[in-house]
């Protein structure tokens, strides 16, 4: 699913699917993001092999991308253990002479609309959320715009008061998914064992619908560092 990936990385994924190629800067940022969300160097190499080189030449994969990926992981060259670029850097770093930024929200409103019109991640955003996103872009607040995308994709769940890295977007999404799955399991268990014998089938069905309706609260602020199994 594409939901856990922030728009800046989804844009790179989509461009890679279309062209089977990314600029050096885009590849660097994408590799560090994959590293940041926990992929091993072997998994990242397999990502490039599966996603790109069925359409290209294996010699190019072996000669160029293997070294670059291993270098990004600190296993070649100067052995530097690079960390993912933070949102501030993504908002400042341009990809090309046209001034397109790695962060799709760090631009003026007209450029934002032009660049995102054909992006699938933007097509999946609700109309109400688009208004909030464009207001944040117009106010020069790219982080707030990204937060609105997150909330819209996660049923009102908030990423928190502030996040600084694209991989934090992914981590928060996965935490919410795990929590929702756990709650769904609890609800299913309760429905199975807690229905009194004198309750009719129709009453039981209505109880199940009510339980499902309140299963996923909205506007829930998730503090990742404070989350534990005891919080349930």
Q: Is the pLDDT of residue 228 over 60?
A: no
Contact at 8 Å (CB) between 35 and 73? yes
**Given this model, what pLDDT does residue 16 score?**
82
For residues 101 and 45, what is the distance between their CA atoms, to the nearest angstrom? Answer: 26
Share of the chain above pLDDT 70, in %: 70
Residue bearing the bigger pLDDT, 170 or 93: 170
Q: Is the pLDDT of residue 120 over 80?
A: yes
- Please tell me what DSSP assigns to residue 85: P
Q: Is the pLDDT of residue 15 over 80?
A: yes
Question: What's the mean pLDDT in 20-36?
Answer: 89
Single pTM value for the model: 0.73
CA quadruple 63, 65, 66, 67: dihedral sign:
positive
Most confidently modeled range among 121-125, 192-196, 223-227: 121-125
Residue 171: pLDDT band (50, 70, 90) is very high
Burial 97-134 (b: 16+ CB within 10 A, else e): eeeebbbbbbbeeebbeebbeebebbeebeeebbebbb
Residue with tokens 């109309």: 127
**Given this model, what pLDDT does residue 3 score?**
86
- Please tell me what DSSP assigns to residue 222: P
Q: Is the pLDDT of residue 32 over 90?
A: yes
The residues near 121 (Cβ < 8 Å, ≥ 6 apart) are 2, 7, 10, 11, 14, 149
CA distances from 14 to 9, 116, 157, 164, 218 (A): 9, 12, 25, 23, 30
Residue bearing the bigger pLDDT, 232 or 71: 71
**Given this model, what pLDDT does residue 205 score?**
47
């Amino acid at each position: 699913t594409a939901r856990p990936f922030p728009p800046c990385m989804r844009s790179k994924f989509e461009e890679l699917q279309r062209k089977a190629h990314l600029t050096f800067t885009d590849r660097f940022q994408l590799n560090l993001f994959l590293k940041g969300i926990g992929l091993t160097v072997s998994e990242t190499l397999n990502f490039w092999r599966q996603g790109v080189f069925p359409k290209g030449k294996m010699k190019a994969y072996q000669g160029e991308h293997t070294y670059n990926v291993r270098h990004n992981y600190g296993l070649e060259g100067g052995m530097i253990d690079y960390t993912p670029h933070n949102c501030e850097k993504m908002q400042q770093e341009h990809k090309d002479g046209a001034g397109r930024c790695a962060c799709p929200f760090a631009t003026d409103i007209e450029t934002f609309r032009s660049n995102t019109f054909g992006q699938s991640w933007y097509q999946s955003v609700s109309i109400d959320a688009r208004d909030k996103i464009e207001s944040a872009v117009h106010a020069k607040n790219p982080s707030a715009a990204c937060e609105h995308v997150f909330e819209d994709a996660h049923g009102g769940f908030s990423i928190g008061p502030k996040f600084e890295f694209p991989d934090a977007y992914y981590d928060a999404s996965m935490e919410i998914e795990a929590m929702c799955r756990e709650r769904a399991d609890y609800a299913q268990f309760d429905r199975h064992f807690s229905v009194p014998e004198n309750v009719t089938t129709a009453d039981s069905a209505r109880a199940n619908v009510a339980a499902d309706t309140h299963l996923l609260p909205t506007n829930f602020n998730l503090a990742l560092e404070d989350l534990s199994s005891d919080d349930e």
